[in-house]
Amino acid sequence: MSDMIYEIRDLRLSFPDMAHKPLFGAAPRVEVLKGLSFDVPKGEVLGIVGGSGSGKSTLGRAMIRLLEPDSGTIRFEGTDITHAEESALRPLRRKFQMIFQDPMSSLNPRRRVAGIIAGPLRLQGVQDTQSCVLEALDMVGLPRSFARRYPHELSGGQRQRVGIARAVALRPDFILADEIVSGLDVSSQAQVLNLLEQLVKDLGLTLAFISHDLSVIRRLCSRIIVMHRGEIVENAPTVQVFDAPQADYTRELLQSIPLPDPDQVWA
């Protein structure tokens, strides 16, 4: 029981479709997650892959309860958090953290780096925030002097490191990384992915890595969930997904990736 970080059963979530709202009455609902079930064992690095509109980000946000599902259950370390109130979630929040896609919008532009990293620490009642902030900066390989800078003074890769520092500073059990390298240049992508790989190893983290790009996660993830139109079409170990994909959609995804190789036959 306790070696599972997440147990998710028949998870459903829908949004109101404002584009088709009638003049009177409620808007029709669009089902974004159509009954998902999977487990995340402790220590696993799970890749969640899919195109835009596949529901992958919605799934991520439901897992850390930024969104409330319609039905089904989400158990985090054995606790049912499917419909938990915000006040009940608060003590759990230090155990699951999130790194956001766009570090520019996820870092408050009016705060210095130190304040951004210290925010969650203070809320969770950590006493010596100062040293925790510096330690977190060390962990993500940023100079300590960056503590006094503002987000807009940093490069994209550095900003994303601040986002990572904020997430790991609390020493959570689980981190959700939502498209965290898709806005970065390839050179920063590589650095951020290596850093994440290192942190997973050092801190014994469980990680869910959401991406639209299968090719960036091969080395990082041990298992991959492929999503398409709100459903899981494939849930398999990484090697199998790449070498013997079962679902048609997975095959299509793989064949669509442009390899940096002019000889690749692009059927």
Query: Which residues lie near other proteins (CB under 8 A)?
Result: 51-52, 61, 64, 66, 86, 89-91, 93-94, 96-98, 100-102, 105-111, 119-120, 123-124, 150, 152-153, 155-156, 166, 185-187, 189-191, 193-194, 212-216, 218-219, 242, 252-262, 264, 266
Taking the least distance from each CB to other proteins, the nearer of 44 and 65 is 65
Sign of torsion over alpha carbons 193, 196, 201, 206? negative
Taking the least distance from each CB to other proteins, the nearer of 10 and 53 is 53
Taking the least distance from each CB to other proteins, the nearer of 166 and 232 is 166
Shortest spacing between CB 252 and other proteins, in angstroms:
6
HSE, side-chain direction, 13 A CA sphere, residue 224: 28
Residue holding tokens 């890595």?
A: 209
Provide the CA 102 distance to its chain's centre, in angstroms.
12
Q: Residue 182 is which amino acid?
A: S
Taking the least distance from each CB to other proteins, the nearer of 191 and 206 is 191
Shortest spacing between CB 172 and other proteins, in angstroms:
10
Shortest spacing between CB 1 and other proteins, in angstroms:
25
Shortest spacing between CB 61 and other proteins, in angstroms:
8
H-run or E-run covering 238: helix 238-243
Taking the least distance from each CB to other proteins, the nearer of 37 and 108 is 108
Whole-angstrom CA distances from 62 to 35, 70, 191 are: 13, 10, 28
φ, ψ for residue 109, nearest 5 deg:
-65, -15
Shortest spacing between CB 106 and other proteins, in angstroms:
4
Shortest spacing between CB 120 and other proteins, in angstroms:
3
Shortest spacing between CB 16 and other proteins, in angstroms:
13
Burial environment of residue 65 by CB neighbours within 10 A (0 to 12, 13 to 18, 19 or more): buried
Taking the least distance from each CB to other proteins, the nearer of 38 and 242 is 242
**Cβ contacts of residue 83 below 8 Å, gap of 6+?**
68, 69
Angle, to 10 degrees, between the axis of helix 156-168 and the axis of helix 113-123? 20
The tokens for 81 are 């958090």
